[in-house]
Amino acid sequence: MTDAIADGLLKGTIAAGARAIRWLDDRDPRGAAVIRHIFPATGRAQIVGITGPPGAGKSTLADMLVTELRRRELRVGVIAIDPSSPFTGGAILGDRVRMGRHTLDPGVFIRSLGTRGQAGGLSRSTHDACLVLDAMGYDIVIVETVGVGQDEIDVVNLAHTTIIVGVPGLGDEVQAVKAGLLEAGEIFVINKADRDGYEAAWRQYELMLHLREVSLGAAAGSWPVPLLRAIATAAEGGVEIVDAILAHGAALRKEGTFARRSGLRDREQTLALLRDHLARRALSPAGEAVLAEVEARRIDPYSAVERLLAELDGKALTT
């Protein structure tokens, strides 16, 4: 069953890829088996993150970029993430609404994911979903994050190229400086450029990028971070943004850091999986009892962790 799904997605079969992502998102053990199978076929796609505050127009921008990438005959996967309710775990995933015109294009695969309790603007499964779309042969995988605030920038570690989307009139300079957002990212876009306050926003971003260049110096690397304008609802700016995406991908490949970025991402994922598995192992089967002690305030959290780790050390290494 897992082999059929893995082979199917390697041939680009939509239903197989969709099922693999479902398993990975559901933490179904069959998902891990698929990743083992397809991993050698990954590492080719350029992962492009789109992030920015809620209402910046990320979905509409993604829609415009898909159109332009398709015009250049590139195959595009899209992973669009929306927040899950921290209370019920349910979610309304509405990013497809802005991308409806690509639904029947066989060169486009769009998948909506809920964050399912993960902080940082992505779902826990996003990295794996990128591997699946990569193995399916999509040239570009766009990852659209949830609307982010000041430091939910996990996408920066995931993507080869991160696009930061801003809009006019969101806040003063202090807001912009606080945002870790402005320290990251390889392409900046001010969307809704027909709105009031566009010139002021442009000046602020320009200043910010200049300061970043000065403070990072040589550490900034050789990529000159472009500041671009867009009116995604009017299909304006897509050509320039796609030019920048492809130029950045080419630059990474030329300086040999494309594969290194993928590798760093896999390293992060390994650490995340390890944390997850170790925590689960440390907690089974006696963990609930220790946690109950903490809840009753009979022992402090540090002692509780020590006790759980001591038990973990005693457990057989092969489970």
Size of the site for other proteins (CB under 8 A): 37
22 contributes a contact to other proteins by CB under 8 A:
yes
DSSP SS3 for 262: helix
93 contributes a contact to other proteins by CB under 8 A:
yes
Identify which of residues 126 and 262 has a Cβ nearer to other proteins in the complex. 126
- Write down the least CB distance from residue 220 to other proteins, Å: 38
Phi, psi of 189 (to 5 degrees): -130, 130
277 contributes a contact to other proteins by CB under 8 A:
yes
**140 neighbors 46 (Cβ within 8 angstroms):** yes
Identify which of residues 21 and 242 has a Cβ nearer to other proteins in the complex. 21
> In degrees to the nearest 10, what's the CA dihedral of 116, 119, 122, 123?
-30
317 contributes a contact to other proteins by CB under 8 A:
no
281 contributes a contact to other proteins by CB under 8 A:
yes
Choose which of 70, 96, 212, 307 interacts with other proteins (CB under 8 A).
96
14 contributes a contact to other proteins by CB under 8 A:
yes
H/E element, 163: strand 161-166
Choose which of 29, 86, 217, 256 interacts with other proteins (CB under 8 A).
29
Choose which of 5, 21, 163, 208 interacts with other proteins (CB under 8 A).
21
Pairwise CA distance, residues 104 & 52, whole Å:
28
Identify which of residues 222 and 319 has a Cβ nearer to other proteins in the complex. 319
**171 neighbors 179 (Cβ within 8 angstroms):** no
Pairwise CA distance, residues 163 & 148, whole Å:
13
18 contributes a contact to other proteins by CB under 8 A:
yes
Pairwise CA distance, residues 195 & 91, whole Å:
31
Structure tokens at 225: 């971070």
248 contributes a contact to other proteins by CB under 8 A:
no
Bridge-based pairing of strands 46-51 and 140-144 is parallel
282 contributes a contact to other proteins by CB under 8 A:
no
- Write down the least CB distance from residue 19 to other proteins, Å: 6
Site string for other proteins, 98-117 (x = CB under 8 A): x-x--xx----xxxx-x-x-
Residue type, 53: P
Pairwise CA distance, residues 187 & 210, whole Å:
14
127 contributes a contact to other proteins by CB under 8 A:
no
H/E element, 145: none
- Write down the least CB distance from residue 285 to other proteins, Å: 9
Task: Find where tokens 């030019």 sit.
Answer: 243
92 contributes a contact to other proteins by CB under 8 A:
yes
260 contributes a contact to other proteins by CB under 8 A:
no
Q: By C-alpha distance, which of 79, 80, 73, 95 is closest to 133?
A: 79
259 contributes a contact to other proteins by CB under 8 A:
no
| 206 Cα distance to chain centroid | 25
**Which residues form the interface with other proteins (CB under 8 A)?**
14-15, 18-19, 21-22, 25-29, 84-85, 88-94, 96-98, 100, 103-104, 109-112, 114, 116, 277, 280-281, 284, 319
